[in-house]
Chain A
Amino acid sequence: MDALTGHLGEFGHGLVTTVHMTVVTTIGALLLGVIVATLRICPVPLLRGVGTVYVEVLQNLPLLALLVLFVFALPTIGITFPLFTSAAIVISAYEGAYLAEAIRAGINTVGVGQAEAARAIGLTFSQSLRYVILPQGLRAVIQPMGTICIALLMNTSLAAAVGVVELTQAANNVNLVEAQPIAVFTGAGLAYMLLALLISRITGALERRFAIVR
């Protein structure tokens, strides 16, 4: 227990970094997810292709490989970001691909008649998406999006591999001093669990709040 209580500062820092990273990347991934899902259903073949390539590339590479590539390959062509920013960009892009697929599934649940009615009152394609299709499609997949956000939270621990001192890396550092892996990682694990529970509570509340009367 001393291994945990004696290092509250380090754990606290790590936890704050993890939460910060999770919030930032969730926002980024949601924006990307909506944009990419929209590309994948839009009537312009070229844009649809861009969306498909995006999803196929990012979904089919390991996140760790993407992180390492981004952090170590980009500087060779003169582009460098702070480590936290790099990790946030890569995780957003990666989880964005998964969210895009969930959102596309949601869009597909919206009946074709809704889109026809939207067009029939003179809404443009983007207006139909914004006011009719997406609000209903997103509501249909709040739960799976929540699950992806929990996976995103867990995946922020991979940022440790490129030098971001988030919760897992903080636990690792403490363990190097205390050599009590069971206590240290159980503590860190419980913190992740609480955060994941918080996300699923938020998801549940959103789902009830936005349920469509059927």
Chain B
Amino acid sequence: MVSVRGLQKWFGPLHVLKDVDLTVAAGEVVVVIGPSGSGKSTLCRCLNRLEVAGAGTIEIDGEPLPAEGRKLARLRADVGMVFQSFNLFGHRTVLDNVTLGPVRVRRVPKAEAREQALALLDRVGIADKADHYPAQLSGGQQQRAAIARALAMRPKVLLFDEPTSALDPEMVNEVLDVMVSLAAEGMTMIVVTHEMGFARRAADRVVFMDDGRIVESGTPDEFFAAPRTDRARDFLSKILQH
């Protein structure tokens, strides 16, 4: 579904992605972990061209990522993204946030889009907030609304860029529960996160990044029980001892 080959990315003199290869099959849930600044968010953002790669190829469902323009917009419609800071549209109600894409991009009739949006909001557990504005919701509710907005496009793959990092601890689980259920339903997902519990529960594969490279990749059982590299062992020992 997603195929990345030889991806390089520089921010000025800073080399943030160094020859990254990653293949994600349809229905696979890949969790990307690693220390801050290891390039995992940048990798995620390159996949729908919010960051433009310096070199290398990215293919989504067999199609190379187009350059700017209408073709790119069409591709982005098929690649859902959930941001760390939610980024709900502040001037629109939750329902209008969810229906905007289907109505304007997919040309779904308004009544139908509304019905689907309400069903999605029900599914993420905030149907009663449909007519509220984002600022009236808690962080966890906002992030679930953002997931509903991404799902409304019926994406082929969903990207999560640290979806729980901006949340109060007590709200993390309500978001992770939604993500776990999506994973169980066979959604193709690439999740950048620090939630090791989620990685264990829902990931088919864990990818560990450090200093712009993919250092190690394996099933969660293998990775957490017996990391092969020193760097991964060191990282896990620091985050798992508490």
Contacts and interface: CB of A to CB of B under 8 A. Distances in A.
**Mutual binders A and B:** yes
Interface of A: 43, 111, 113-114, 116-124, 127, 131-132, 135-136, 139, 212-214
A120 B91 contact: no
In the complex, which of the residues A120, A123, A127 has the most CB atoms of chain B within 10 Å of its own CB atom?
A120
B105 interface: yes
Given A119-B50, A121-B153, A212 B90 contact: yes
Given A116-B83, A213-B136, A122 B105 contact: yes
B89 A117 contact: yes
A116 B79 CA distance: 13
Contacts of B68: 43
A123 B135 contact: no
A131 to B, nearest CB: 6
B218 interface: no
A76 to B, nearest CB: 44
Interface string B62-84: 00000010100111111111010
In the complex, which of the residues A113, A116, A117 has the most CB atoms of chain B within 10 Å of its own CB atom?
A117
A115 to B, nearest CB: 9
Nearest to A132: B89
Contacts of A213: 90, 133, 135-136
B70 A121 contact: no
B135 A122 contact: no
B149 interface: yes
B191 to A, nearest CB: 16
A113 B76 contact: no
B105 A123 contact: yes
A212 B93 CA distance: 10
Contacts of B88: 117
B61 to A, nearest CB: 15
B2 to A, nearest CB: 15
Contact of A121 (B85, B133, B135, B149): B149
A135 B97 CA distance: 13
Nearest to B89: A132
Nearest to B50: A116
A119 B70 CA distance: 11
B238 interface: no
Contacts of A113: 83, 85, 87
A118 B136 CA distance: 21
Contacts of B83: 113, 116-117, 120
B101 interface: yes
B150 interface: yes
B94 to A, nearest CB: 11
Contacts of B135: 212-214
A119 B73 contact: yes
B186 to A, nearest CB: 22
B70 A123 contact: no
A119 B73 CA distance: 7
A139 B74 CA distance: 29
B153 A135 contact: no
Contacts of B146: 117
B124 interface: no
B100 interface: yes
B143 interface: no
A69 to B, nearest CB: 40
Nearest to B106: A122
Contacts of B80: 120-121
B104 interface: yes
Interface string B143-157: 000100110010000
B41 to A, nearest CB: 12
Contacts of B77: 121-122
B48 interface: yes
A14 to B, nearest CB: 40
